[in-house]
Chains A and B, each alone.
Chain A
Protein backbone atom coordinates (compact mmCIF):
# COMPACT_ATOMS: atom_id res chain seq x y z
CA UNK A 1 0.00 0.00 0.00
CA UNK A 2 1.70 3.10 1.13
CA UNK A 3 5.33 3.93 1.24
CA UNK A 4 5.57 3.25 4.92
CA UNK A 5 8.76 1.30 4.45
CA UNK A 6 10.36 4.23 2.77
CA UNK A 7 9.80 6.21 5.92
CA UNK A 8 11.51 3.54 7.95
CA UNK A 9 8.53 2.56 10.03
CA UNK A 10 8.43 -0.60 12.02
CA UNK A 11 6.81 -3.13 9.65
CA UNK A 12 4.86 -4.63 12.55
CA UNK A 13 3.09 -1.36 13.03
CA UNK A 14 2.13 -1.09 9.39
CA UNK A 15 -0.80 -3.43 9.34
CA UNK A 16 -2.59 -1.84 12.29
CA UNK A 17 -3.10 1.67 11.05
CA UNK A 18 -2.50 3.53 7.84
CA UNK A 19 -0.12 6.43 8.07
CA UNK A 20 0.50 8.68 5.14
CA UNK A 21 2.84 11.52 4.59
CA UNK A 22 0.27 14.14 3.71
CA UNK A 23 2.49 17.12 2.98
CA UNK A 24 3.72 17.13 -0.61
CA UNK A 25 7.41 17.00 -1.34
CA UNK A 26 6.78 19.11 -4.40
CA UNK A 27 6.99 22.75 -3.37
CA UNK A 28 4.86 23.66 -6.39
CA UNK A 29 1.82 22.23 -4.64
CA UNK A 30 0.21 25.32 -3.20
CA UNK A 31 -1.06 25.11 0.35
CA UNK A 32 -3.93 27.24 1.57
CA UNK A 33 -4.94 27.64 5.17
CA UNK A 34 -8.59 27.72 6.20
CA UNK A 35 -8.49 31.53 6.26
CA UNK A 36 -6.56 31.84 3.03
CA UNK A 37 -9.45 33.52 1.25
CA UNK A 38 -9.47 36.38 3.78
CA UNK A 39 -5.92 37.27 2.84
CA UNK A 40 -4.95 38.27 6.36
CA UNK A 41 -1.39 39.19 5.32
CA UNK A 42 -2.75 42.03 3.19
CA UNK A 43 -4.54 43.42 6.26
CA UNK A 44 -1.55 43.14 8.52
CA UNK A 45 -0.05 46.40 9.55
CA UNK A 46 -2.94 48.47 8.11
CA UNK A 47 -4.04 49.45 11.58
CA UNK A 48 -1.50 49.93 14.31
CA UNK A 49 -3.45 50.18 17.54
CA UNK A 50 -6.49 48.47 18.80
CA UNK A 51 -7.97 46.51 21.63
CA UNK A 52 -7.60 43.23 19.75
CA UNK A 53 -4.66 41.75 17.88
CA UNK A 54 -5.23 38.68 15.77
CA UNK A 55 -3.12 36.32 13.75
CA UNK A 56 -3.52 32.92 12.18
CA UNK A 57 -1.02 30.21 12.95
CA UNK A 58 -1.42 28.28 9.72
CA UNK A 59 -0.02 24.91 8.62
CA UNK A 60 0.65 23.61 12.10
CA UNK A 61 0.58 19.83 12.57
CA UNK A 62 -2.54 18.84 14.51
CA UNK A 63 -2.52 15.34 15.96
CA UNK A 64 -5.34 13.93 18.00
CA UNK A 65 -4.11 11.29 20.40
CA UNK A 66 -6.47 8.89 22.11
CA UNK A 67 -5.02 6.56 24.68
CA UNK A 68 -5.35 5.32 28.24
CA UNK A 69 -4.18 7.74 30.90
CA UNK A 70 -3.78 4.82 33.29
CA UNK A 71 -1.36 3.04 30.97
CA UNK A 72 2.06 4.01 32.33
CA UNK A 73 3.87 2.57 29.36
CA UNK A 74 1.89 4.69 26.96
CA UNK A 75 2.49 7.77 29.07
CA UNK A 76 6.21 7.26 29.11
CA UNK A 77 6.28 6.57 25.37
CA UNK A 78 4.51 9.86 24.72
CA UNK A 79 7.05 11.63 26.86
CA UNK A 80 9.86 9.92 25.01
CA UNK A 81 8.49 10.92 21.62
CA UNK A 82 7.39 14.47 22.37
CA UNK A 83 9.71 15.36 25.20
CA UNK A 84 6.63 16.39 27.12
CA UNK A 85 4.26 14.63 29.44
CA UNK A 86 0.63 14.24 28.65
CA UNK A 87 -1.31 16.62 30.89
CA UNK A 88 -3.54 14.37 32.97
CA UNK A 89 -5.23 17.10 34.95
CA UNK A 90 -8.46 18.07 33.17
CA UNK A 91 -8.40 21.33 31.21
CA UNK A 92 -4.64 21.77 31.38
CA UNK A 93 -1.84 21.86 28.84
CA UNK A 94 1.86 21.12 28.67
CA UNK A 95 3.99 22.93 26.18
CA UNK A 96 7.52 23.53 25.05
CA UNK A 97 8.82 25.61 22.18
CA UNK A 98 7.93 22.96 19.58
CA UNK A 99 5.05 20.98 20.99
CA UNK A 100 1.78 21.90 22.68
CA UNK A 101 -0.37 19.24 24.28
CA UNK A 102 -3.91 20.12 25.28
CA UNK A 103 -6.12 17.97 27.49
CA UNK A 104 -9.36 17.41 25.55
CA UNK A 105 -11.02 14.64 27.52
CA UNK A 106 -9.86 11.89 29.86
CA UNK A 107 -8.67 9.86 26.86
CA UNK A 108 -7.99 12.54 24.30
CA UNK A 109 -5.25 15.11 23.75
CA UNK A 110 -4.71 17.58 20.97
CA UNK A 111 -1.05 17.77 20.11
CA UNK A 112 0.28 20.48 17.86
CA UNK A 113 3.73 20.25 16.33
CA UNK A 114 5.57 22.10 13.58
CA UNK A 115 3.84 21.16 10.34
CA UNK A 116 6.88 19.61 8.75
CA UNK A 117 7.44 17.31 11.72
CA UNK A 118 3.95 15.83 11.64
CA UNK A 119 4.70 12.73 9.62
CA UNK A 120 7.88 12.01 11.54
CA UNK A 121 6.03 12.17 14.83
CA UNK A 122 3.19 10.00 13.52
CA UNK A 123 5.84 7.50 12.50
CA UNK A 124 7.44 7.55 15.92
CA UNK A 125 4.10 6.83 17.55
CA UNK A 126 3.43 3.94 15.20
CA UNK A 127 6.88 2.59 15.90
CA UNK A 128 7.03 2.97 19.65
CA UNK A 129 3.54 3.18 21.11
CA UNK A 130 2.08 -0.06 22.35
CA UNK A 131 -1.40 -1.07 23.39
CA UNK A 132 -4.68 0.37 22.22
CA UNK A 133 -4.51 3.98 21.10
CA UNK A 134 -5.28 6.07 18.08
CA UNK A 135 -3.45 8.93 16.50
CA UNK A 136 -5.21 10.99 13.87
CA UNK A 137 -3.76 13.73 11.74
CA UNK A 138 -6.25 16.57 11.54
CA UNK A 139 -3.89 19.25 10.27
CA UNK A 140 -5.98 20.07 7.22
CA UNK A 141 -9.17 20.41 9.20
CA UNK A 142 -8.14 22.94 11.80
CA UNK A 143 -6.34 26.20 12.19
CA UNK A 144 -5.19 28.28 15.12
CA UNK A 145 -6.01 31.89 15.81
CA UNK A 146 -4.08 33.86 18.36
CA UNK A 147 -6.08 36.73 19.81
CA UNK A 148 -4.58 39.11 22.28
CA UNK A 149 -4.83 42.67 23.47
CA UNK A 150 -6.26 44.75 26.29
CA UNK A 151 -9.85 44.01 25.19
CA UNK A 152 -9.41 40.31 24.57
CA UNK A 153 -11.51 39.20 27.54
CA UNK A 154 -14.28 41.64 26.62
CA UNK A 155 -14.26 40.23 23.10
CA UNK A 156 -14.29 36.61 24.17
CA UNK A 157 -17.12 37.24 26.63
CA UNK A 158 -19.26 37.86 23.57
CA UNK A 159 -18.17 34.60 22.00
CA UNK A 160 -17.87 31.90 24.63
CA UNK A 161 -20.00 31.02 27.65
CA UNK A 162 -17.15 30.01 29.97
CA UNK A 163 -15.84 32.17 32.80
CA UNK A 164 -12.70 33.93 31.56
CA UNK A 165 -11.72 35.57 34.85
CA UNK A 166 -8.08 34.75 35.48
CA UNK A 167 -8.97 33.16 38.81
CA UNK A 168 -11.09 30.65 36.90
CA UNK A 169 -9.20 30.60 33.63
CA UNK A 170 -5.50 30.95 34.35
CA UNK A 171 -2.74 30.80 31.76
CA UNK A 172 -2.34 27.30 30.34
CA UNK A 173 -5.95 26.32 30.89
CA UNK A 174 -7.66 24.66 27.92
CA UNK A 175 -11.38 24.56 27.36
CA UNK A 176 -13.42 23.09 24.53
CA UNK A 177 -16.60 25.07 24.26
CA UNK A 178 -19.05 26.79 21.98
CA UNK A 179 -17.83 29.85 20.13
CA UNK A 180 -20.87 31.84 19.03
CA UNK A 181 -22.76 29.09 17.20
CA UNK A 182 -19.63 27.14 16.30
CA UNK A 183 -17.04 25.58 18.58
CA UNK A 184 -13.45 26.21 19.60
CA UNK A 185 -10.70 24.85 21.78
CA UNK A 186 -9.48 27.80 23.79
CA UNK A 187 -6.20 28.04 25.63
CA UNK A 188 -5.04 31.01 27.63
CA UNK A 189 -1.49 31.93 26.82
CA UNK A 190 -1.20 34.79 29.29
CA UNK A 191 -3.36 37.45 30.90
CA UNK A 192 -4.14 39.15 27.61
CA UNK A 193 -3.75 36.45 25.02
CA UNK A 194 -5.61 33.36 24.00
CA UNK A 195 -5.30 30.73 21.33
CA UNK A 196 -8.35 29.36 19.53
CA UNK A 197 -8.22 26.07 17.68
CA UNK A 198 -11.07 26.15 15.21
CA UNK A 199 -12.42 23.89 12.49
CA UNK A 200 -11.70 24.67 8.89
CA UNK A 201 -15.29 24.79 7.69
CA UNK A 202 -16.26 27.21 10.48
CA UNK A 203 -13.18 29.42 10.10
CA UNK A 204 -14.88 31.99 7.90
CA UNK A 205 -17.84 32.28 10.27
CA UNK A 206 -15.56 32.70 13.27
CA UNK A 207 -13.46 35.26 11.45
CA UNK A 208 -16.56 37.28 10.50
CA UNK A 209 -17.80 37.04 14.06
CA UNK A 210 -14.53 38.22 15.59
CA UNK A 211 -14.28 41.02 13.07
CA UNK A 212 -17.81 42.17 13.91
CA UNK A 213 -17.55 41.74 17.66
CA UNK A 214 -14.21 43.52 17.92
CA UNK A 215 -15.41 46.58 16.04
CA UNK A 216 -15.85 48.61 19.22
CA UNK A 217 -12.31 47.76 20.37
CA UNK A 218 -10.41 48.11 17.11
CA UNK A 219 -8.93 45.06 15.39
CA UNK A 220 -5.29 44.80 14.38
CA UNK A 221 -4.18 41.95 12.15
CA UNK A 222 -0.71 40.65 12.81
CA UNK A 223 1.53 38.58 10.60
Chain B
Protein backbone atom coordinates (compact mmCIF):
# COMPACT_ATOMS: atom_id res chain seq x y z
CA UNK B 1 0.00 0.00 0.00
CA UNK B 2 1.46 3.30 -1.08
CA UNK B 3 2.00 6.29 1.13
CA UNK B 4 1.09 9.33 -0.91
CA UNK B 5 1.87 12.95 -0.21
CA UNK B 6 -1.18 15.10 -0.89
CA UNK B 7 0.07 18.47 -2.08
CA UNK B 8 -3.14 20.14 -0.95
CA UNK B 9 -3.33 18.65 2.54
CA UNK B 10 0.43 18.93 2.91
CA UNK B 11 1.05 15.52 4.42
CA UNK B 12 1.40 11.85 3.58
CA UNK B 13 -1.71 9.73 3.66
CA UNK B 14 -2.50 6.09 3.09
CA UNK B 15 -3.36 4.89 -0.39
CA UNK B 16 -6.88 3.91 0.63
CA UNK B 17 -7.81 7.60 0.77
CA UNK B 18 -6.94 8.07 -2.89
CA UNK B 19 -8.26 6.94 -6.26
CA UNK B 20 -5.87 6.47 -9.16
CA UNK B 21 -7.16 8.07 -12.34
CA UNK B 22 -4.68 6.75 -14.85
CA UNK B 23 -2.04 8.41 -16.94
CA UNK B 24 -1.60 12.12 -16.33
CA UNK B 25 -1.45 14.85 -18.97
CA UNK B 26 -4.12 13.37 -21.25
CA UNK B 27 -5.42 16.67 -22.48
CA UNK B 28 -8.88 16.85 -23.99
CA UNK B 29 -8.49 18.16 -27.54
CA UNK B 30 -9.66 21.75 -27.70
CA UNK B 31 -11.63 21.11 -30.84
CA UNK B 32 -12.86 17.52 -30.69
CA UNK B 33 -14.86 17.95 -33.88
CA UNK B 34 -11.71 18.53 -35.89
CA UNK B 35 -10.12 15.31 -34.65
CA UNK B 36 -10.04 12.33 -36.96
CA UNK B 37 -11.44 9.08 -35.59
CA UNK B 38 -7.86 7.92 -35.17
CA UNK B 39 -6.87 11.01 -33.19
CA UNK B 40 -9.95 10.74 -31.03
CA UNK B 41 -9.27 7.05 -30.51
CA UNK B 42 -5.74 7.92 -29.40
CA UNK B 43 -7.12 10.41 -26.89
CA UNK B 44 -9.74 8.00 -25.61
CA UNK B 45 -7.99 4.70 -25.38
CA UNK B 46 -4.25 4.74 -25.89
CA UNK B 47 -2.21 4.80 -22.72
CA UNK B 48 1.36 4.10 -21.83
CA UNK B 49 2.28 0.92 -20.03
CA UNK B 50 5.59 2.13 -18.75
CA UNK B 51 8.25 0.12 -17.05
CA UNK B 52 9.90 2.87 -15.07
CA UNK B 53 8.80 6.45 -14.57
CA UNK B 54 5.10 7.03 -15.04
CA UNK B 55 3.18 10.27 -14.62
CA UNK B 56 -0.17 9.60 -13.05
CA UNK B 57 -3.30 11.45 -12.08
CA UNK B 58 -4.68 10.78 -8.60
CA UNK B 59 -7.49 12.24 -6.55
CA UNK B 60 -7.57 12.53 -2.78
CA UNK B 61 -11.04 11.00 -2.80
CA UNK B 62 -11.59 10.52 0.92
CA UNK B 63 -9.67 13.66 1.82
CA UNK B 64 -9.75 17.05 0.14
CA UNK B 65 -11.23 15.70 -3.13
CA UNK B 66 -8.53 17.48 -5.15
CA UNK B 67 -6.75 16.02 -8.14
CA UNK B 68 -2.98 16.09 -8.53
CA UNK B 69 -0.18 14.36 -10.38
CA UNK B 70 2.56 12.05 -9.24
CA UNK B 71 5.61 10.63 -10.95
CA UNK B 72 5.93 7.03 -9.88
CA UNK B 73 8.45 4.34 -10.73
CA UNK B 74 6.36 1.36 -11.79
CA UNK B 75 9.17 -1.04 -10.93
CA UNK B 76 10.07 0.11 -7.43
CA UNK B 77 6.76 1.93 -6.75
CA UNK B 78 8.85 4.83 -5.54
CA UNK B 79 7.01 8.13 -5.85
CA UNK B 80 9.56 10.53 -7.23
CA UNK B 81 7.51 13.71 -7.10
CA UNK B 82 4.05 15.10 -6.57
CA UNK B 83 2.88 18.12 -8.53
CA UNK B 84 -0.24 20.13 -9.12
CA UNK B 85 -2.66 20.03 -12.02
CA UNK B 86 -1.38 22.38 -14.69
CA UNK B 87 2.25 21.79 -13.75
CA UNK B 88 4.69 19.66 -15.69
CA UNK B 89 6.80 16.90 -14.13
CA UNK B 90 10.39 17.71 -13.29
CA UNK B 91 11.42 14.06 -13.02
CA UNK B 92 11.17 12.50 -16.45
CA UNK B 93 12.67 9.41 -18.02
CA UNK B 94 14.74 11.64 -20.35
CA UNK B 95 16.36 13.27 -17.37
CA UNK B 96 16.69 10.04 -15.49
CA UNK B 97 18.73 8.64 -18.34
CA UNK B 98 21.03 11.62 -18.64
Contact = CB atoms under 8 A, between A and B. Distances in A.
B64 A161 contact: no
Contact of B13 (A105, A177, A183): A177
B63 interface: yes
Nearest to A91: B9
A181 to B, nearest CB: 9
B78 interface: no
Given A106-B64, A183-B62, A90 B16 contact: no
B10 A161 contact: no
A7 interface: no
Nearest to A105: B64
A162 B64 contact: no
Given A161-B13, A161-B16, A161-B17, A177 B8 contact: no
A105 B64 CA distance: 5
Given A161-B16, A161-B17, A178-B16, A90 B62 contact: no
Interface in B4-41: 8-11, 13-14, 16-17
Contacts, number: 38
Contacts of B65: 105, 108
B66 interface: yes
A104 interface: yes
A104 B9 CA distance: 9
Nearest to A89: B10
Contacts of A105: 8, 63-66
Interface string A177-210: 1100001000000000000000000000000000
A176 interface: yes
Contacts of B64: 90, 104-106, 108, 176
A162 B10 contact: no
A101 to B, nearest CB: 15
A91 B13 CA distance: 13
A174 to B, nearest CB: 10
A175 B60 CA distance: 12
B10 A178 contact: no
A93 B80 CA distance: 31
Interface string A75-90: 0000000000000001
Given A105-B65, A105-B66, A106-B66, A91 B14 contact: no
Contacts of B11: 90-91
A162 B14 CA distance: 7
A177 B66 contact: no
Contacts of B14: 161-162
A177 B62 contact: yes
Interface string B49-76: 0000000000000111110000000000
Contact of B10 (A90, A177, A183): A90
13 contacts: A90-B11, A90-B64, A91-B11, A105-B8, A105-B64, A105-B66, A106-B8, A161-B16, A161-B17, A162-B14, A175-B9, A176-B64, A178-B62
